[in-house]
Structures are given as structure tokens and as C-alpha cells.
Amino acid sequence: MAIKPLGDRVLIEVLEEELPKQGSLYIPETAKEKPQEGKVVAVGNGRYEDGKLVPLDVKVGDNVLYGKYAGSEIKHDGKEYLIVRESDILAIIEK
């Protein structure tokens, strides 16, 4: 990965949901909600508290839930990514 987040930021690959269907009709893109699930692709070094570096709780490969309007969206090599602070991540999904 050519993108390395700084500090307590996390790079998330947005996982697209399947195209929603109502009966035999597909719901248009404009009616879809923003996805809130993704896979952690890269993490920063951590955050400083009281002069000490505290590593992040999430790691590369974790599936996470994040806030609906959190972070900054970017596109790189045709994929959608989201850069968020660790505090914007709501939960780690364990499978």
C-alpha cells in the first residue's frame, strides 16, 4: 500500500453492500445509504498521551464499523478508501 496514515489515523477500504432490491426492483444509487463497514488497510503509528506514544487498538486486516459521516473519502487505484481517526471507529467486527 502506497498510502501510510499519520498519527492516530486509519485507512479503511470501504466494503460495498450488495445492490438493494425491493421485490424484483433494484433501488437506485441515489437512495442507497452510505456504507458503514470496511476493512483496515493501513494504520498510523499511534497517538501521544502525556508524551508517550500509545499504539492503536485496530490492526491491518480488521473489519470495522465506523460513523456514517466520519473521515475523508479518497480514491486510489480505482478503489474507494476512507481515512478516519481511531476515535471515529465504533467497533471491530469479529467473525
Q: How many domains does the chain have?
A: 1
Q: Is residue 1 part of a domain?
A: no
Rg of the chain in Å (alpha carbons): 15
- The amino acid occupying position 63 is N
Q: Is residue 2 part of a domain?
A: no
Q: Is residue 4 part of a domain?
A: no
**pLDDT given at position 32:** 57
Q: Is residue 87 part of a domain?
A: yes
pLDDT 10s digits, 75-85: 888 888 999 99
| Half-sphere exposure (Cβ direction) of 68: Cα atoms closer than 13 Å | 3
Would the CA dihedral through 19, 32, 30, 14 be positive or negative?
Answer: negative
pLDDT 10s digits, 3-62: 899 999 999 998 876 655 556 666 665 655 666 899 999 999 999 999 999 999 999 999
**pLDDT given at position 52:** 94
Instruction: Read off φ and ψ for residue 73, nearest 5 degrees.
Output: -85, 135
For residue 74, CA distances in Å to 38, 53, 77 come to: 14, 27, 10
